[in-house]
Structure 1
Amino acid sequence: MNTPNPTIDQPVASVSTSTEAVKTTTGGFATIRPHLEVTGHVGDRYDEILTPDALEFLAELHERFAGTRHDLLAARLQTRVDAANGRDPKFLSETEGIRLDPAWSVAGAGPGLEDRRVEITGPTDRKMAINALNSGAKVWLADQEDATSPTWTNVIEGQLTLFDQVRGQLSFTSPEGKKYEITNESLPTIVMRPRGWHLVEKHITFIDRANRRMKSSGSLIDFGLYFFHNAKKLIENGTGPYFYLAKLESHKEARLWNDIFTFAEERLGIEYGTVRATVLIETIQAGFEMEEILYELRDHCAGLNAGRWDYIFSIIKTFRARGSRFVFPDRKQITMTVPFMRAYTELLVATCHRRGAFAIGGMSAFIPNRRDPAVTEQALAQVAADKKREATDGFDGSWVAHPDLIPTAQAEFDKVLGDRPNQLERTRPEVNVSAADLLDVASVGGQITEAGVRGNVLIALRYIESWLRGVGAAAIDNLMEDAATAEISRSQLWQWIHENSVTAEGRRIDSDWVEEVLDEIVDGLERTPTDRFDDALAVLRTSALEPEFPTFLTVGAYARFF
């Protein structure tokens, strides 16, 4: 699909599409049937996704679950206030019985998810999707979240990509005439990742029974459209509707997802428990509720994933103003072998395997460069070491972001797994992780360097500019950057400034100096008439240099520019 994005490429007239707004009279009071209005542009084949029946399904999801979503987002605000006031996360006393009960387990792998040793992640544009499907990975994480810039075009055409692939009709011809087709006979199982609870879809408005208008939930839109159009066909194909759940902060948020799955299965006449979810543990709050999250989703749960980059961002965000105990060194020094990250991954594997759930490792940021053999050699070595550690620790599989990394990652898991599809039998009873272990940031050590400051400025600026252009996964200096790594970069800048940090070279980090660095970097950029660096500068200044700390840089940027 090559339909231009109206928020980026050119203005277009707003088109309104909705399920029928029916007024009825009961006891003298006029009521309105909850419905949706689509105000984004309607491109080629959009009507195949935004059908009246699909919109009605989305409206039902919002009527039933939008209120709970708002309540849970409000609860997040209180959690942040508590953390800022000195209250550390802890293992919940009120759910201790769930943790101590050995009797329960999760549903586990659905058809096609039994072997997940290598999963490739990526956005859902047609070219990247075809490359992922031809890659030889066991699973394709079809990402509508951190690897996708949520332009209206990307949101709907990503759904069209998935719609076509589920029906065996996906192809793409580039503007240069190059054809991309599915050539792999053994295709990866699709696991779709909808946007997190905090994100809205501004191009679809929900109107409730009281005629109140509100932006729709990005999570419900992404999940609802994919499930409505594809669930039955996926089952017919021998797999099922499978999802990665992002940015959860509590077991109550997992409970909401479980309620949504249960309703959606009943609404479409699908057997209860068909959905399978893998939850990304990518917030410090969720790190303390892994077992409870599994429990809430147990009839729909396949496993947990160690979402390392967002997890690091979450810790910086949560404790950003709590003093030197929580000040991180340069980003590259926060490795998976530092104590608090080891505690996090050890706990995740032990928790998953105790309950029959898959433990899926995270993504190494290193990527090969086909034009630079030295860079490729280094990337392969880094990925091999990362995946060797994960496989040895008991993970059942892991992520890569580039097809060329799959043989290296698979080789490390093959050495440990052999012919076994997973290693769920390794329950790791020796693991004993405390709250103090999960919060032991101080033991990371390391230094803040001037190069680290400049690197964060450059990465954040270049990624935000890419995201504003509609590209959500960007290769920058031989690393794969997405929204999570950009969040680390900008939140570290904010923390270093507000904690009066000093670099190893003796330079105090303040907003004036970071502004100077920004100016130097911008002066050295190759500019084009269509770049978005001016807008990216505005986003970065707002999210890193202002006294107020935005919870997510993408929220304000989306509201302002999309």
Structure 2
Amino acid sequence: MAFRVYTAPPPKGCERLFKTVFSAEAKAFIGELYTAFQSDIEELYRRRIKRRVELDTHNQLPDFLSETKAIRENLEWRVDPIPARLRNRKIDCGDVSPSNRLHFKKALNSEANGIQVDFDDGHCPTWTNQILGYSNIIEFVSGSMPGVPTVPQAPVLMLRPRAWNMVEHHVLVNGEKVPGPVVDFAILMYHASAQLYASGSGPFFYLSKLEGYKEARLWRKIFVWAEHKLGMPVGSIKACVLIENILAAFEMEEILYELRTHSLGLNCGIWDYCASIINKFGTRQEFRLPDRSKYVNMQKHFLESYCKLVVDVCHKRGALATGGMNAKMLPAGNSHVREEITQQVCM
């Protein structure tokens, strides 16, 4: 299919970086990927709208799907083995925007097992920040960033594209604005996947705010397409799905099944999970959470049940279950408080 890719001019001061990031070949990769999956992406958005209307107009509640009962009841299938570099992921640095070069370099020099390199919630997706973020990742992966370890020695990069609700207004294919996750994934794969794969360090991704197994299926199709296009074995790409949507919580086994060749397991994201409950059911009296400091914590039944289900599903299918971010900060000097916070984080 023929396509035309348009990118907005680079912001002042980013001209050199822009030419590297959005080379003619990289833009062609974006265009080819988007046109290959445009109808699937449009169907994703239609399905989300339809589901929202059903919830709003019929007072529906989500439930485990009858259509996928056989997948849940089949105890034989498992996700593929976890790559060696990801078998110890006790601590990830979360919400690290790669556009903040100093922050990114500090994370690379940390003792964490991994870094959530975030183009989603921990990042402001201005045109300048997108170019800086892509460029810093490319520089690190290519081995030309000073003052940081090499890729095999640094914490592993967990690349987090934007969620499907985000649009990249500065990139058009055939006059259509391209979804943010498509641009992020395409640029990162085109420029960084070969080096990451060669070092046994990726490409590894976080997938944000999926609303069900059909969205995981779309990502699988995109992964396989990119692997073939870039000459990588199927299953080279691995992804951890953040279960941060109430609808996805009822389709976790199906999500793992769809991504079983590419899966890194599931992750709990309690704040976005609670936000999704407000988004989907906030007009209903019985779903209102009046005091988040009182009701939004892991001691409450609805969050404890959600977390336990994530863990149970992952253990059942041989996948990793990882927790959400702990935002506590260690104060300087006070050793008693530092120890207390450390113990809370490790609980």
For 1:29-178, what aligned pairs fall within 5 Å after superposition?
33-41=2-10, 43=14, 44-84=16-56, 85-121=58-94, 122-124=96-98, 125-171=100-146
1:357 is displaced (CA, Å) by 0.6
> Does the aligned pair in 2 maintain the 1:54–1:228 contact within 8 Å?
yes
**Paired position in structure 2 for 1:288:** 250
1:377 is displaced (CA, Å) by 5.7
User: Please, what is the CA RMSD of the aligned residues?
Assistant: 1.7
What is the CA deviation profile of residues 64-108 of structure 1, one whole-angstrom value per residue up to 9, with x for unaligned ones? 112211211221122222222310000001101000001111123
1:384 is displaced (CA, Å) by 2.6
1:304 is displaced (CA, Å) by 0.5
Using structure 1 for the length normalisation, give the TM-score: 0.58
Amino acid of the residue matched to residue 384 of structure 1?
Q
**Paired position in structure 2 for 1:217:** 179
Task: Give 3-state SS (helix, strand or coil) of 1:311's partner.
Answer: helix
Task: Give 3-state SS (helix, strand or coil) of 2:241's partner.
Answer: strand
What is the CA deviation profile of residues 392-444 of structure 1, one whole-angstrom value per residue up to 9, with x for unaligned ones? xxxxxxxxxxxxxxxxxxxxxxxxxxxxxxxxxxxxxxxxxxxxxxxxxxxxx
What is the CA deviation profile of residues 152-203 of structure 1, one whole-angstrom value per residue up to 9, with x for unaligned ones? 11111101111011122224xxxxxxxxx22699411111000001111001
**Paired position in structure 1 for 2:303:** 341
Using structure 2 for the length normalisation, give the TM-score: 0.93
Mark the CA change 1:111 to 1:60 in structure 2 (over 3 Å): closer, same or farther: farther
For residues 188 and 4 of structure 2, what CA distance do their matches in structure 1 show?
19
1:39 is displaced (CA, Å) by 1.1
> Does the aligned pair in 2 maintain the 1:40–1:152 contact within 8 Å?
no
Task: Give 3-state SS (helix, strand or coil) of 2:176's partner.
Answer: strand
1:269 is displaced (CA, Å) by 0.7
Identical pairs, percent:
37
What is the CA deviation profile of residues 262-320 of structure 1, one whole-angstrom value per residue up to 9, with x for unaligned ones? 00000011111110000000000000100000001111111110011100100111110
For residues 346 and 45 of structure 2, what CA distance do their matches in structure 1 show?
35
**Paired position in structure 1 for 2:343:** 384
**Paired position in structure 2 for 1:320:** 282
Across the two proteins, how many residue pairs are aligned to each other?
339
Mark the CA change 1:331 to 1:238 in structure 2 (over 3 Å): closer, same or farther: same
1:199 aligns with 2:158: no
For residues 100 and 107 of structure 1, what CA distance do their matches in structure 2 show?
19
For residues 198 and 262 of structure 2, what CA distance do their matches in structure 1 show?
19
1:217 is displaced (CA, Å) by 1.2
For 1:399-414, what aligned pairs fall within 5 Å after superposition?
none
What is the CA deviation profile of residues 477-533 of structure 1, one whole-angstrom value per residue up to 9, with x for unaligned ones? xxxxxxxxxxxxxxxxxxxxxxxxxxxxxxxxxxxxxxxxxxxxxxxxxxxxxxxxx
Amino acid of the residue matched to residue 160 of structure 1?
S
For residues 154 and 80 of structure 1, what CA distance do their matches in structure 2 show?
32
Task: Give 3-state SS (helix, strand or coil) of 2:324's partner.
Answer: strand
1:365 is displaced (CA, Å) by 2.5
What is the CA deviation profile of residues 185-232 of structure 1, one whole-angstrom value per residue up to 9, with x for unaligned ones? 94111110000011110011110xxxxx11111001000000011111
Amino acid of the residue matched to residue 181 of structure 2?
S
For residues 98 and 88 of structure 1, what CA distance do their matches in structure 2 show?
21
Task: Give 3-state SS (helix, strand or coil) of 1:45's partner.
Answer: helix
Deviates more, 1:34-43 or 1:252-261: 34-43
Task: Give 3-state SS (helix, strand or coil) of 1:112's partner.
Answer: helix
Amino acid of the residue matched to residue 219 of structure 2?
W
What is the CA deviation profile of residues 216-262 of structure 1, one whole-angstrom value per residue up to 9, with x for unaligned ones? 11001000000011111112222221100001001000000000000
> Does the aligned pair in 1 maintain the 2:17–2:131 contact within 8 Å?
no
For residues 378 and 332 of structure 1, what CA distance do their matches in structure 2 show?
21
Task: Give 3-state SS (helix, strand or coil) of 1:157's partner.
Answer: helix
| Structure 1 stretches of 4+ moved >4 Å | 376-380
For 1:291-306, what aligned pairs fall within 5 Å after superposition?
291-306=253-268
**Paired position in structure 1 for 2:291:** 330
1:46 is displaced (CA, Å) by 1.4
> Does the aligned pair in 1 maintain the 2:91–2:114 contact within 8 Å?
yes
Bigger relative contact order, structure 1 or 2 (CA pairs below 8 A, ≥6 apart): 2
- Unpaired runs of 5+ residues, structure 2, are none
What is the CA deviation profile of residues 16-55 of structure 1, one whole-angstrom value per residue up to 9, with x for unaligned ones? xxxxxxxxxxxxxxxx821210014252321111111111
Task: Give 3-state SS (helix, strand or coil) of 2:322's partner.
Answer: strand
Task: Give 3-state SS (helix, strand or coil) of 2:261's partner.
Answer: helix
**Paired position in structure 2 for 1:555:** none
Match for residue 156 of structure 2 among 183, 186, 189: 189
For residues 172 and 232 of structure 2, what CA distance do their matches in structure 1 show?
28
For residues 40 and 195 of structure 1, what CA distance do their matches in structure 2 show?
21
**Paired position in structure 1 for 2:313:** 351
For residues 63 and 292 of structure 1, what CA distance do their matches in structure 2 show?
27
1:308 aligns with 2:301: no
The structure whose Rg is larger is 1
